[in-house]
Chains A and B, each alone.
Chain A
Amino acid sequence: MAAGGLFDQAENHSLSGPGRGFWSVLHIDPVLLVLLLILIAGGMVVLFSGADQNLALVKAQGLRMGVALVVMLVFAQLDPAVFRRWAPWLYLAGVLSLVAVLLFGVGAKGAQRWLALPGLPRFQPSELMKLLVPMMAAWYLSRRFLPPRLRYVAVSFVIVLLPMAMIMIQPDLGTSLLVGSAGIFVIFFAGMSWKLISAFFALVSVSAPLMWFFVMRDYQKQRVLTLLDPQSDPLGAGWNIIQSKTAIGSGGMDGKGWLQGTQSHLEFLPESHTDFIVAVLAEEFGFLGMLCLLGLYLLIIFRCLYIAAMAQDSFSRVLAGALTMTFFIYIFVNVGMVSGLLPIVGVPLPLVSYGGTSSVTLMAAFGVLMSIHTHRRMISA
């Protein structure tokens, strides 16, 4: 692995026996932590601009990130075996709460996403499924010989697609996409055969037109059509994409400068502190800023894939790999939609967009990765 050398020192550290060093005792991967902190800090700088210099909002985000960091540390303390042991029960609870959401969930803008249980803070079960679905699939597949046989693959698909479908009908396309891909990445990493993968893609491409006519809702179709021709409705559906492309394009090589973005500060760019924040960054910091951001994300992914590769059992490996790839899906879908490559789905820019729930889930996932990396036993592999 090309990036492997970069992390050798840390690696040696964590492998050095039972009295293994400071970071292992804390169950923290310092490399990943530093990269994440850089990302979060940089993200808040951009957020300050994207939120039109609303300091209160940035503080609220800082608080959330603090909570998310604590959640990450808590998850990192748990042994991966705990996740594995609890995975089926948690998954079951998750699916049940999804059912509850469909029955008596609360929400806004025509989508039921939240569950308000008495005595508990309001929460979004679909968000938890981003962790629980890959855990469950990893639990199920890691008990088989890998690569798995066809019927196990089929069962895993059921495990993945059931909650995904339930989330999709809330409707929450973005989350169901992330939940589904998390699960499918588990199956892929577990060794689903290339033949099956080809068949899967063939199925997807055949079902796409069927989806168009029978599953997708009008507003979702509209988003696809808008992507293809934003000028068809420049003040309506096309507005977001035209304005975000204008923001990005006008940034040029080195951008207009921090707090100088006219598209965001003059309110042309919608959602400039949430889903479209990358357009603010691109406008104010230009192509170089985007290279930095994408480079930082790549380093995080490299590190995570490295952690996955170093994991000692299949459960940890496929789970780590899938969580890493889900993180990448966030990035690709968000940047792709803001730059007009993909239709608009509600996927935030991970750890940068304003918003609490997804940040906590993401950091929990990084906690799982740190747990995997810092709970290795000294067995010959």
Chain B
Amino acid sequence: MPWGEFKDTAAERRLFQRRAVVMLTLVVALTGILVARMYQLQLVEHEIYTTLSDKNRVQVQSVAPPRGLIYDRNGELLAENRPVFSVTLVPELVGDMDQALASLGQLVSVSEEDLERFRRRLEERRRPYQALPLRYDLNEQEIARLAVHRHELPGVEVAAELVRYYPHGELTAHALGYVGRINREELQRIDPVNYAGTNYIGKSGVERFYEELLHGQVGYEHVETNARGRTLRVLERQNPVPGEDIELHMDLRMQRLAHELLDGRRGAIVAVEPSTGGLLALASVPGFDANQFVTGISVDAYRELSQSRDNPLFNRALRGQYPPGSTLKPMLAVAGLDSGATTRDKTIWDPGYFRLQSGGRPWRDWKRGGHGWVDLKDSVAQSCDIYFYEMAVEMGVDTMHDYLSKFGFGEDATLDVSGALSGIVPSRDWKRAVHNEPWYPGDSVNLGIGQGFMLATPLQLATATSVIANRGTWSEPRLLKGVMGDVTVDEVLPRQTHESITLQNPDTWEFVADAMAEVMHGAKGTARGAARGASYRMAGKTGTAQVFSLAEDEEYEEEEIRERLRDHALFVGFAPVNTPKIAVAVIVENGGSGSGTAAPVARAMFDAWLLDYSDNQAPVVASRAEEQD
């Protein structure tokens, strides 16, 4: 500023004040814009942002209902739910999956198999933000280690879930079935809403048949989560409706006994309570531990099970289709008498073989030299084949087919046994359809002693035996005995469809039952050894099913046939004869003879039920309810 000139301070001040007014106006105007913006966001669009804010923090999570428990008829727990801690990852929240898996591997032991299974699930279609389990059944140290390092591992959670547990392992696997992870196919079948929180579904057996009942209804939780998806608190909860607890007819002691009796062999025992159709035991040996299937069995373990020569995964009781052999004779005797193909008094001469026409092919009796003069009762008691060959030819295939069908052969006659097979009752149509051949009289001869095309499962044999025990009255085999909640058995158990078998002469039932009693107690009864010393009267029939056909006139030399090629030993029976409380069917694969191997097994089952456990045969729903109180 040059000297001598004075600044016009008044003018400068006025200039500044004018500018200040401009700025003040600007400040007010711009602040007005901010206020307007706040007004827009906070008042005009408030609803939108409130929704966004709630959507941010409130997540609806489905809560899986606890699965219904399964008890036996005495209140023994057969299937329960056990808390299992597993480490899970939410892929959407895990940044670098490989790195996360690597660091997890240092905290808990993760096997190659766990990793493989996890990666497989990672690639499958799944719900967004669904936690995928990496390893199950963490121990306490592992849980603690994860808790310490939790902050370093976004998206990693230790999840507790109730997992099905079968405390009796092998004993119940075939009877109850098991649950397993929902697979892709099942995902399309189930109600996505009700199963939103559920990871497991019944795969077989009771677990599968009563899936709906056992599952329950899903519940919901509105939870508040933070930006990292971690749940902070539950805002609102709609509790799930737990699955119903159910009670089975099964008696665990009988089931255990059945397994013990067959221990080390392959076979099946089915025990039915004739009055109710309730399955007291449904054993297939060897069994397997269903628990390993619940969380997913390892490939190696599965291979071992599925490739075992003993085939433990195969449910012989429901799905083993065997030629029934002579155990079919009581049912054929009913057919023969009722159809008039034979009479109680008719006797024949058994030379040890049978020919359809002279000079034709001979059918041999199991007893070389034959039984001599026999009537029907003798033929049942001694298991004379020749009598039944003749009677079968007399009846013809159509009649036999009709009667056998009435006993439940050739169909799945069960009410709630999942996966039972039907077996085969051959007929003219069947043979034409399957073999494209006509029915030959020789086929009838074979059918007359339960061989040839005829196939039946142990469950079917027990069912048919139970019909005889009931003197023609049907009660279809069933597992469900009671439901604990408000639901009644009638609501969930399918209706009976079989009509009782009415015979021309109802007394025929008593005659056949008597004949079966002769098997056990008669002087020449094939199973008289098994009934020795019994305090009650029992009825039964032995059987032998050929594993492979002997060539004509070939000597049967048991010792030379390797164990696996020996005949299957069969037995059916019920006891006591006049007031039957139990009917059983026993098959021991490669057991040799029915009388020697299978009959003593059945006797042990009878004894247990009638003598040892007779106290507990009344309905027990009420009594257990009291115990729990």
A253–B28 CA distance with the chains assembled, in angstroms: 22
Dominant secondary structure at the A interface: helix
A185–B37 CA distance with the chains assembled, in angstroms: 25
A94–B28 CA distance with the chains assembled, in angstroms: 33
Are B50's CB and A249's CB within 8 A? Answer: yes
Are A335's CB and B34's CB within 8 A? Answer: yes
In the complex, which of the residues A253, A331, A340 contacts B42, with contact meaning CB atoms closer than 8 Å?
A: A253
In the complex, which of the residues B46, B49, B232 contacts A266, with contact meaning CB atoms closer than 8 Å?
A: B232
A290 within 8 A of B: yes
Q: Give the interface segment out of B18-26, B372-380, B619-627.
A: B18-26
List B contacts of A321 (CB < 8 A): 16, 19-20, 23
Are B228's CB and A267's CB within 8 A? Answer: yes
B31 within 8 A of A: yes
List A contacts of B144 (CB < 8 A): none
Q: Give the interface segment out of B51-59, B256-264, B411-419, B609-617.
A: B51-59
B301 within 8 A of A: no
Are B12's CB and A266's CB within 8 A? Answer: no
List B contacts of A74 (CB < 8 A): none
B346 within 8 A of A: no
Q: Mark B56-90, 1 if CB is under 8 A from A, else 0.
A: 11000000000000000000000000000000000
Which residues of B from 2 to 49 have beta carbons under 8 Å from A? 5, 7-13, 15-17, 19-21, 23-24, 27-28, 30-31, 33-35, 37-39, 41-43, 45-46, 48-49
Are B38's CB and A191's CB within 8 A? Answer: no
Are A266's CB and B20's CB within 8 A? Answer: no
A245 within 8 A of B: yes
Q: Mark A161-204, 1 if CB is under 8 A from B, else 0.
A: 00000000000000000000000010011010000000000000
Instruction: Report how many A-B pairs have Cβ atoms within 8 Å.
Output: 149
Are A287's CB and B42's CB within 8 A? Answer: yes
Are B23's CB and A262's CB within 8 A? Answer: no
Which residues of A from 307 to 321 have beta carbons under 8 Å from B? 308-309, 313-314, 317-318, 321
Closest to A249 in B: B49
A252 within 8 A of B: yes
B433 within 8 A of A: no
A143–B12 CA distance with the chains assembled, in angstroms: 12
Are A246's CB and B56's CB within 8 A? Answer: yes
Are A268's CB and B227's CB within 8 A? Answer: yes
A339 within 8 A of B: yes
A246-B56, A252-B42, A267-B226 known; A308-B35 Cβ under 8 A: no
Are A252's CB and B43's CB within 8 A? Answer: yes
Are A266's CB and B9's CB within 8 A? Answer: no
Closest to B10 in A: A381
A249-B49, A267-B226 known; A339-B27 Cβ under 8 A: no
Q: Mark A300-342, 1 if CB is under 8 A from B, else 0.
A: 0110010011000110011001000100100110011001110
Are B20's CB and A143's CB within 8 A? Answer: no
Q: Mark B204-244, 1 if CB is under 8 A from A, else 0.
A: 00000000000000000000111110001000000000000
B1 within 8 A of A: yes
Are A145's CB and B1's CB within 8 A? Answer: yes
Q: Size of chain A's interface in residues, with CB distance under 8 A?
A: 54
Are B20's CB and A262's CB within 8 A? Answer: no
Are B48's CB and A266's CB within 8 A? Answer: no
Closest to A3 in B: B24
List B contacts of A336 (CB < 8 A): 34, 37
Are B13's CB and A287's CB within 8 A? Answer: no
Are B46's CB and A308's CB within 8 A? Answer: no
A246-B49, A263-B56, A339-B37 known; A145-B7 Cβ under 8 A: yes
A82 within 8 A of B: no
Query: Shortest beta-carbon distance, B39 to chain A, in Å?
Result: 7
List A contacts of B1 (CB < 8 A): 143-145
Q: Mark B506-534, 1 if CB is under 8 A from A, else 0.
A: 00000000000000000000000000000
Query: Shortest beta-carbon distance, A175 to chain B, in Å?
Result: 20
A146–B10 CA distance with the chains assembled, in angstroms: 11
Are A328's CB and B41's CB within 8 A? Answer: no
Closest to B11 in A: A146
Are B7's CB and A290's CB within 8 A? Answer: no
List A contacts of B28 (CB < 8 A): 298
A221–B601 CA distance with the chains assembled, in angstroms: 86
Are B50's CB and A309's CB within 8 A? Answer: no
List A contacts of B227 (CB < 8 A): 266-268
Are B20's CB and A250's CB within 8 A? Answer: no
A249-B49, A308-B20, A321-B16 known; A339-B31 Cβ under 8 A: no
In the complex, which of the residues B30, B43, B56 contacts A268, with contact meaning CB atoms closer than 8 Å?
A: B56
A250-B49, A268-B227 known; A189-B42 Cβ under 8 A: no
Are B17's CB and A309's CB within 8 A? Answer: yes
Are B49's CB and A262's CB within 8 A? Answer: no
In the complex, which of the residues B16, B39, B41 contacts A309, with contact meaning CB atoms closer than 8 Å?
A: B16
A155 within 8 A of B: no
List A contacts of B35 (CB < 8 A): 290-291, 294
Closest to B22 in A: A188
List A contacts of B49 (CB < 8 A): 245-250
A282 within 8 A of B: yes
In the complex, which of the residues A188, A252, A332 contacts B30, with contact meaning CB atoms closer than 8 Å?
A: A332
Query: Shortest beta-carbon distance, B322 to chain A, in Å?
Result: 63
Are B43's CB and A301's CB within 8 A? Answer: no
A250-B53, A266-B227, A341-B37 known; A318-B46 Cβ under 8 A: no
List B contacts of A339 (CB < 8 A): 34, 37-38, 41
A252–B51 CA distance with the chains assembled, in angstroms: 12
Are B46's CB and A252's CB within 8 A? Answer: yes
Are A266's CB and B38's CB within 8 A? Answer: no
A253–B45 CA distance with the chains assembled, in angstroms: 11
Which residues of A from 226 to 252 have beta carbons under 8 Å from B? 242-243, 245-252
List A contacts of B31 (CB < 8 A): 294, 297-298, 331-332
Which residues of A from 247 to 261 have beta carbons under 8 Å from B? 247-253
Closest to B44 in A: A249
Are B50's CB and A250's CB within 8 A? Answer: yes
Query: Shortest beta-carbon distance, B93 to chain A, in Å?
Result: 11
List A contacts of B27 (CB < 8 A): 298, 301, 325, 328
A301–B26 CA distance with the chains assembled, in angstroms: 12
In the complex, which of the residues A144, A242, A245, A332 contacts B41, with contact meaning CB atoms closer than 8 Å?
A: A245
List B contacts of A188 (CB < 8 A): 19, 23
Q: Mark A262-291, 1 if CB is under 8 A from B, else 0.
A: 110011100000000000001000110011
Closest to B42 in A: A287
List A contacts of B21 (CB < 8 A): 1
Q: Mark A351-376, 1 if CB is under 8 A from B, else 0.
A: 00000000000000000000000000
Closest to A332 in B: B30
Are A262's CB and B56's CB within 8 A? Answer: yes
Query: Shortest beta-carbon distance, A337 to chain B, in Å?
Result: 11
List A contacts of B42 (CB < 8 A): 248-249, 251-253, 282, 286-287, 290
A331–B32 CA distance with the chains assembled, in angstroms: 13
List B contacts of A266 (CB < 8 A): 56-57, 224-227, 232
Query: Shortest beta-carbon distance, A2 to chain B, in Å?
Result: 9
List B contacts of A346 (CB < 8 A): none
A144–B46 CA distance with the chains assembled, in angstroms: 53
> Contacts A248-B49, A252-B50 given; 17 further ones with Cβ under 8 A?
A145-B1, A147-B15, A189-B23, A191-B12, A191-B16, A191-B19, A242-B52, A249-B41, A249-B49, A249-B50, A249-B52, A286-B42, A291-B38, A314-B16, A317-B16, A325-B23, A336-B34
24 A-B interface contacts by CB (under 8 A): A1-B24, A145-B8, A146-B7, A188-B23, A242-B52, A245-B49, A246-B49, A249-B46, A262-B53, A263-B53, A268-B226, A268-B227, A287-B39, A291-B35, A305-B23, A309-B20, A314-B7, A314-B12, A317-B16, A332-B34, A335-B37, A339-B41, A341-B33, A341-B37
The residues of B with any CB-CB pair to A shorter than 8 Å are 1, 5, 7-13, 15-17, 19-21, 23-24, 27-28, 30-31, 33-35, 37-39, 41-43, 45-46, 48-50, 52-54, 56-57, 224-228, 232
Nearest first, the 6 closest Cβ-Cβ pairs linking A and B are A249-B49, A250-B53, A266-B226, A267-B227, A287-B42, A249-B41
